[in-house]
Amino acid sequence: MCGRYTQAQSVQELAKRFGLKLPSLALAPRYNIAPNQEAPVVLRAGAGKELALLRWGLVPSWAADASIGAKLINARAESVMEKPSFKGSFKSRRCLVPADGFYEWAKDKTPYRFCLDSQELFSFAGLWDSWEAPDGKQRRTFTIITTDASAVVKPVHGRMPVILPTEKEDCWLEPKTEAEVLKDLLVPFTALKAFPVSTLVNSAAAEGPDCAKPVPLAQPDFWG
């Protein structure tokens, strides 16, 4: 699964990277985004795109209450087109989840961060939905699609979030893209590096750049 990630870039950098009009959002750098927290997501908006804050943990429009979102932070690529919780969103409510890294925990509980060599922004393949709360307000939520782990991630965890190649992001958002084309995008991403980080990230309340900094190991890691 993907249960924590980082997005420390400014609104200006997000707008430039994803070709957006500068949004009026106040965003702080985030080094330990956790489920049930709000995070920036890129949505299709008419012929263009918009950046919006959505809560992580998808609540389907038909859900009786919002508690289901805690179980739907991820959607498996193998079943996302058939599962009732996701198939409607897969068809017409796809999104990009900006990130510059994500965390996974090894069997010995050591946390690792995975990112691009350049540490630049990338995007997870996401889905979103809107749910009407008892107070009548529409609450938008999202989930991150996962797939089998790449060779870099596999020594730590068997699954990883789907990272979209930059040139395929508009294809993912395009409403008319055929399902088979979309399915072909749900594959492991290989161009990543990994390093151990502080156990600070074990707490969802932890924040700050120290969460994402490399730390030494007492023994060689999986790749050294």
CATH of the domain at 129: 3.90.1680.10
SS3 labels along 91-142: HHCEEEEEECEEEEECCCCCEEEEECCCCCCEEEEEEEEEEECCCCCEEEEE
The domain containing residue 56 runs over which residues?
5-102+120-147+158-188
Give the number of domains in the chain.
1
Q: What's the pLDDT at 224?
A: 58
Q: What's the pLDDT at 52?
A: 95
**Which residues on adjacent β-strands are paired with residue 42?**
51, 96
Is 57 inside a domain boundary? Answer: yes
Structural contact between residues 192 and 124, judged by C-beta atoms closer than 8 angstroms = no
CA distance 19 to 98: 13
Is 214 inside a domain boundary? Answer: no
2 a catalytic residue = yes
CA distance 224 to 219: 9
Is 204 inside a domain boundary? Answer: no
Structural contact between residues 200 and 211, judged by C-beta atoms closer than 8 angstroms = yes
CA distance 166 to 150: 18
Per-residue tens of pLDDT for the chain, all 224 residues: 799 999 999 999 999 999 998 878 889 999 999 999 999 999 998 888 999 999 999 999 999 999 999 999 999 999 999 999 999 999 999 999 999 999 999 999 999 999 998 889 999 999 999 999 988 999 999 999 999 999 999 999 999 999 999 999 999 999 999 999 999 999 999 999 999 999 999 999 999 999 999 998 766 577 65
Is 65 inside a domain boundary? Answer: yes
pTM: 0.96
Q: Which helix (H) or strand (E) holds 5?
A: strand 5-7
Structural contact between residues 54 and 45, judged by C-beta atoms closer than 8 angstroms = no
Is 97 inside a domain boundary? Answer: yes
Is 203 inside a domain boundary? Answer: no
Q: What's the pLDDT at 220?
A: 59
CA distance 103 to 14: 21
Is 81 inside a domain boundary? Answer: yes
Is 71 inside a domain boundary? Answer: yes
CA distance 123 to 41: 9
Q: Tell me, what amino acid is at 111?
A: P
Q: What's the pLDDT at 217?
A: 77
Residue corresponding to tokens 């999986």: 222
The catalytic position among 95, 104, 115, 211 is 104
Structural contact between residues 30 and 8, judged by C-beta atoms closer than 8 angstroms = yes
